[in-house]
Structure 1
Amino acid sequence: ERGYKIKGSISSHFHSDSTGGIEWLNSRSIPTYASELTNE
């Protein structure tokens, strides 16, 4: 472990098989950002 702290995550596009990471980040109160189209 390097001791890094995640401040947030930016999702540039969507793949239906890889969105679980966003839920994991949000469950740990880590903000996630995406365009309106990506959020659809």
Structure 2
Amino acid sequence: MTKNFGNINKDTPSLILDFSIYLGLAKYRARNENLKQLYA
């Protein structure tokens, strides 16, 4: 039980990090699309 709980705690920060990176990439991609439309 404690071992599994420890693994969850260890993995949670990386999950949050992955999610924030994913959101950042989505924003970056959306901004690039907007720029392409502006300068098209």
Q: Which has the higher contact order (CA 8 A, sep 6+)?
A: 1
As a proportion of its length, which structure holds more strand? 1
TM-score for both structures, normalised by structure 1: 0.29
Whose Rg is larger?
2
TM-score for both structures, normalised by structure 2: 0.29
